[in-house]
Structure 1
Amino acid sequence: MLLEDVLEEYYYHCLASGFTDKTMINKNQEYKQLNKFIIEERQVTELESITHHDLKSYIRSKQMSGLQPSSIVSMSKQVRAFFSWCVKEEYIQINPMDKVTLPKVGTKMLTGYTTQEVTTMINCFNNKEYLEIRNKAIVSLMADCGLRSIEIRRFTHSSIHDNFILISGKGNKERIVNLSSIVKKTLIKYERVKKQYFKGKNVPYENYFLNYRGEEMSHVGIHNLVKEAGRRAKVKEARPHKFRHFFAVQSLLNGIDIYSLSKLLGHSEVNTTERYLTSLNVKDLLEDSVKTSPLTNMKK
């Protein structure tokens, strides 16, 4: 079977599986590069003829191009996923990636925001204009619920209930996140202003958060509003994903266990959640250990 034909079949398999647009773009780009390298550099066109030597050479080419180890590992996961699917479909018997050694990636400390930074970023938006109130609501949701940028963009009015939101995350996996009374109050105000802002206008989109034209917000739009919040609050490196780190750390310090936290964040593996907690400093851990001391709590 021609490699490019199987890659095309796998692409549509992934599309039908509900991967996000961003993920599909990354996958498509990676598989085009793989196909090109295998054909041009290794003179192999048939899927069954690909060996681990070919894939080792492909990884080596990525290293020689200056690609960072973390990026190589991320790219390799996509290649491994493709060949695993081929094994499952019985197109090949073994996954050639099983014998490919990947570069070691050092543990990078993920950092979130401080409580003061989050408070300042939320309060930097006024309570008068539609976009300002929308932005305040989005930043509040990110900080208090740990939602991903794409989850903020995609959820609808029907997803919101009195005290929780039903979120469809990666791979269309649904989860429930709690809505605090503080955030609920912010959302009620947003809904009221939104209704007035779009009164008499045709708004065909069901998305909860809309841009000024009444359309679904873009990834860049979310990134820019967080960047603007950072600029106003004088917070360096303000990015949407850092709110998930903030949510994770604060939730753990407030007593949640890591397995429950992992579910709230929509992680499929606990070790992904653990990376979010590397920013906990010694002072935080010492203060938290006092709250959870078994003997201290026995005296209460």
Structure 2
Amino acid sequence: MQQWFPELFYITNTLKRNNPRFLIADALLFDISLKCRPYIQGGITMYLSKMVKVNKFSFMSWETAIQRFIVWRKAEGISKRTLNGYESNLKTFFKRYPLAWPDKCREFVLQHLSQEEISPSTYNNRLKTFRPFFNFTITEGILTTSPIANIKYRRGEAPRIVDHTMEDVLKLFKVIGSETFAQLRDSTLFLFSFDTGIRPSEALELLPNDLDVELLKATIPPMYAKTRIGRRIFYSDKTALLINKLLSVRPLEWKNSTQLFCNSYGNKMNTHTWGVQLRRYTKKAGLNRFSPYDLRHQFAIEYLRNGGDVFTLQKLLGHSTLSMTERYLALSNDDIQRVHAKVSPVSALFPPIRKGIGKI
């Protein structure tokens, strides 16, 4: 009988192996083989689907589901960094809770989200990974209900205020130096990031051809941008001097196919390497903390302090909505207090009394 219906044997064996409820599949197989042979087309029968009532993807492993999800998101143009985050977080979850897939996902998702002492940002990041994945499994017919249905995001914490003094920024810049190629590259990357507010991941993807050295502007292609929307950024004369110097010391064989901010061997740098370098310089400068993303924060804050408006800032930062720019910026308490003192209606009711100059 197996030689007549090899695909049918495969289906029943798969059902038995993945779900004890389908041990009855042997009896069904014999019954189907005798009564319903005419319905069998390619090893899949209408009779079988009616009798067993199993989803066509019920035997799919979580590894395969994740793989299909990553391919789908990649086709949508999601950045490589985001895809790696999806894959890492999902694999970590299912390895930690091997009994979750497929029937107990909600139980273990709730357990994963209710761990003690996790911050709202960690909670929300986990949920941001689960939501598109489980929506995908429903769309593809892998699962029938979402394990995260009616689970909402938590209200986030106040953003960490990144407000370094200009003295600290200058001190850190001077510590880097420019005696070696690596130091020149780091000095240029530091100043370019502080001058433009570019994301670290975007800066490390730039090629020399993406810069217009005469008009002092750079184009971030859509493939590099986090939002997949290209934009133009601008830099100052001082930054241009360092960029031109960096371009002049590059070997000719690197040409335009090598990233502008590459390592000493012409290989691409990543954000982790840049972060490690910056932490080393920070320690040398005697400062507590300074990350590559702090340069982006500091650019935004100084842009507003110096008279820039939030609408052009949104374009420069590459935010898709204005609300993102407003959440992104966290002005220091001194700024808030200074603005409040200036515009307070109570201050208008009781203006300060100006005294004339008397005897001297």
Q: What is the TM-score of this pair, normalised by structure 1?
A: 0.79
CA shift in 2, pair 1:91/1:175, >3 Å: farther
Residues 61-140 of structure 1 mapped to structure 2, 5 A cutoff: 61-64=112-115, 66-86=117-137, 97-140=148-191
Shift of 1:219: 2.4
Matched, 1:206 2:258: yes
CA distance in 2, matches of 1:40, 1:15: 28
Shift of 1:153: 1.2
Matched, 1:250 2:311: no
| Higher relative contact order (CA closer than 8 Å, sequence separation 6+) | 1
CA distance in 1, matches of 2:145, 2:231: 35
Q: Which runs of 4+ in 1 moved over 6 A?
A: 90-94, 287-290
Compute the RMSD of aligned alpha carbons: 3.1
Residues 38-49 of structure 1 mapped to structure 2, 5 A cutoff: 40-41=99-100, 44-45=101-102
Identical pairs, percent: 19
SS in 2 for 1:64: coil
Larger radius of gyration: 2
Q: Map Cα deviations across residues 150-197 of structure 1 (whole Å, 9 max, x no partner).
A: 1121110111013211113114321111122221122112212x23xx
Kindly indicate whether the alpha-carbon contact (under 8 Å) linking 2:163 and 2:298 is maintained by their aligned counterparts in 1: yes
- The residue aligned with 2:69 is 10
Kindly indicate whether the alpha-carbon contact (under 8 Å) linking 2:204 and 2:261 is maintained by their aligned counterparts in 1: yes
- The residue aligned with 2:35 is none
Q: Relative to structure 2, which stretch is displaced further, 120-129 or 178-187?
A: 120-129
SS in 1 for 2:273: helix
Choose which of 193, 204, 219 in structure 2 pairs with 1:166: 219
Q: Map Cα deviations across residues 219-260 of structure 1 (whole Å, 9 max, x no partner).
A: 232112212331232221121011111011011112222232
CA shift in 2, pair 1:30/1:253, >3 Å: same
Kindly indicate whether the alpha-carbon contact (under 8 Å) linking 1:141 and 1:183 is maintained by their aligned counterparts in 2: yes
- The residue aligned with 1:294 is none
Gaps of 5+ in 2: 1-56, 343-360
Choose which of 27, 31, 42 in structure 1 pairs with 2:90: 31
- The residue aligned with 1:176 is 232
CA shift in 2, pair 1:275/1:202, >3 Å: closer
SS in 2 for 1:234: coil
Matched, 1:237 2:296: no
CA shift in 2, pair 1:288/1:235, >3 Å: farther
Shift of 1:202: 6.1
CA shift in 2, pair 1:164/1:204, >3 Å: closer
Kindly indicate whether the alpha-carbon contact (under 8 Å) linking 1:134 and 1:190 is maintained by their aligned counterparts in 2: yes
CA distance in 2, matches of 1:58, 1:142: 39
Residues 266-281 of structure 1 mapped to structure 2, 5 A cutoff: 266-281=318-333
CA distance in 1, matches of 2:294, 2:338: 23
Aligned residues: 279
CA shift in 2, pair 1:157/1:83, >3 Å: same
SS in 2 for 1:263: helix
Q: What is the TM-score of this pair, normalised by structure 2?
A: 0.67
Q: Map Cα deviations across residues 47-85 of structure 1 (whole Å, 9 max, x no partner).
A: xx67xxx43641333433654332121110111122344
Shift of 1:90: 7.3
CA distance in 2, matches of 1:182, 1:15: 39
AA paired with 2:323? N
